[in-house]
Chain A
Amino acid sequence: MLNQQETVMNKQKRFKIQGPCAYEFDSGNTGSWRIERPQVDFETCVKCGTCATYCPANVITIEKDKEICVDIMWDYCKGCGICANECPKQCITMVEERCGK
């Protein structure tokens, strides 16, 4: 098969493609959109994962064994506030984003 795979598997031997297509999986720095950021009260948090379930950007990880049990990827969190709104313990507060993080 004259395979698209060649393109990246063997960087020296790239296969030329004509026409519109995309093959570089990249991510925008959507964290820069943030006006407010979620602040988690880790002591109240019951690690239920509701925030992670509903996060549209999938940037929340529940770290059950860590003190910072709700890990957020700041590069991508848009600060929509769904996590804060849905938290059953209401332990997430949206606070003003500080300049330069």
Chain B
Amino acid sequence: MAHYKMLDGNCAAVEAIKMAKVKVVSAYPITPQSTIAEKLSEICENGELEAKYIRVESEHSAMSCAIGAQLTGVRTATATASVGLALMHEVVNVASGCRVPIVMPVVNRSLASPWSLWCDHQDSMAERDSGWLQLYCENVQDVYDTMIMAYRIAEDPRVLTPAMVCLDGFFLSHSMQKVMLPEQKEVDDFIGTYKVKNLHLDPSDPIVIDNLTGSNECTEMKYQQAIGFKNAEDVMEEVFNEFSQKFGRTKAMIEGYNLEEAEALIVCIGSMAGTAKYVSDILRDQGKKVGVLKIVSFRPFPYKKLREIIGNTKKLAVIDRTTGFGGQGAPLWLEVKSALKSDVLVKNYIAGLAGRDVNIETIKNVYTDILEGNDSDDPIWIDCGENVMNIREVLLND
């Protein structure tokens, strides 16, 4: 029987990996992902998961091992965070280019520098063009569910694209929550055993994979990937529906909350959506017509669905947990802005960098600004302190 269990986000990801019956695990520890690596090695060791654990010496090798192993025809697992994902960057692109549908939890953490152990989305946003699906989680149940669904989506022959399942470092990775876990049989029926659906390594059936390709064909191969992303939208719809029927929890590429006659909506990603929903409830009680749009799938970005879901709302406050230096806005804002007609005011708020709490006040301030503030489209660093340029002073030797 399906049952409840108290799990943190990392353990929920491990549960999903275990129930997906991966055969090879290669992971390298990095805060706040470390407990995923620990737990995986433990269950490989004690036989709970029949898999080989490769104790790699870097994230770069973690991804390389996973690619090599999955190319032989087995499901593999790895996980990372922050600078670990940055180190992987080179081979992250190999996985997608060779159409190896690895599912990888990314425990979101800020990128150095400055050094920070805490959550923002700079790490995964830096990989937004690396050819991976990106699904973001709101709570721990969501981590488990999204992981399970990600296998189906990534491995679908119409998609064949690896997937990052992004969970906010500490806010989710280390937060204990009640999670409904299905029976193994239900998961088996839902995901199925791994079957190679594309190029693979087999000494008795040799081909040469990933050799030099001419400019006459590279565009075509990249376009094949683009089609994979396009198909992923339909496949997600199918998988979300089936999941909802089988497991009773609904999911969508973009999820709305308090949308009725909304005057303004906060658009956000990840765990802060919970706070945003809570605040929108409070403000609704006060007669303010505000709601929330949570982007679940950042890649592919559901721009058509976004247009539909906002209805007649004319004010969107996009909160980015990353910087978007030198651009007109940060990554999420750019997507939202370019999806919509110019009669919608889309303002960008930079918040929650390096684990800075996006609390009730932050969200309230964002709602106040979008409802009452000016129409400027410069990004607003909503939680930035005073005297920014004077936070460090050293004595000069004259």
Given A17-B198, A18-B224, residue A23 in contact with residue B99 (CB < 8 A) = no
Instruction: Pick out which of these stretches binds chain B: A2-10, A35-43, A50-58, A82-90.
Output: A2-10
Inter-chain contact A21/B221, CB cutoff 8 Å: no
Interface residues of B (CB under 8 A from A): 97-99, 160, 195-200, 202, 205, 207-211, 213, 221, 224, 228
Q: Does A99 contact B (CB under 8 A)?
A: no
CB of B41, distance to nearest CB on chain A (Å): 31
Inter-chain contact A19/B198, CB cutoff 8 Å: yes
CB of A60, distance to nearest CB on chain B (Å): 26
Contact with B along A25-67 (1 / 0, CB 8 A): 0000000000000000000000000000000000000000000
Extra 14 A-B pairs, beta carbons < 8 Å, given A17-B199, A19-B99, A19-B210: A2-B195, A2-B197, A3-B205, A4-B207, A18-B160, A18-B224, A18-B228, A19-B97, A20-B98, A20-B209, A21-B199, A21-B208, A21-B209, A23-B207
The size bracket of the interface on A is 10 to 19
Inter-chain contact B98/A4, CB cutoff 8 Å: no
Interface residues of A (CB under 8 A from B): 1-5, 17-23
**Could you show 6 A-B contacts with beta carbons less than 8 Å apart?**
A4-B202, A4-B207, A17-B199, A19-B99, A19-B210, A20-B209
Inter-chain contact B196/A20, CB cutoff 8 Å: no
Among all A-B residue pairs, the 4 with the closest Cβ atoms: A22-B208, A19-B99, A23-B207, A20-B213
- Complex CA gap A21/B213 in Å reads 8
CB of B193, distance to nearest CB on chain A (Å): 12
Inter-chain contact B211/A20, CB cutoff 8 Å: yes
CB of B296, distance to nearest CB on chain A (Å): 26
Inter-chain contact A5/B213, CB cutoff 8 Å: no
Question: Given the complex, which residues of A lie within 8 Å of B210, measured CB to CB?
Answer: 19-21
Inter-chain contact B208/A18, CB cutoff 8 Å: no
The answer, among A3, A5, A21, for a CB contact under 8 Å with B211, is A21
CB of A51, distance to nearest CB on chain B (Å): 30
Inter-chain contact A19/B224, CB cutoff 8 Å: yes
Question: Given the complex, which residues of B lie within 8 Å of A19, measured CB to CB?
Answer: 97-99, 198-199, 209-210, 221, 224
Residue of A nearest to B213 (CB): A20
Question: Given the complex, which residues of B lie within 8 Å of A21, measured CB to CB?
Answer: 199, 207-211
Residue of B nearest to A16 (CB): B198
CB of A9, distance to nearest CB on chain B (Å): 10
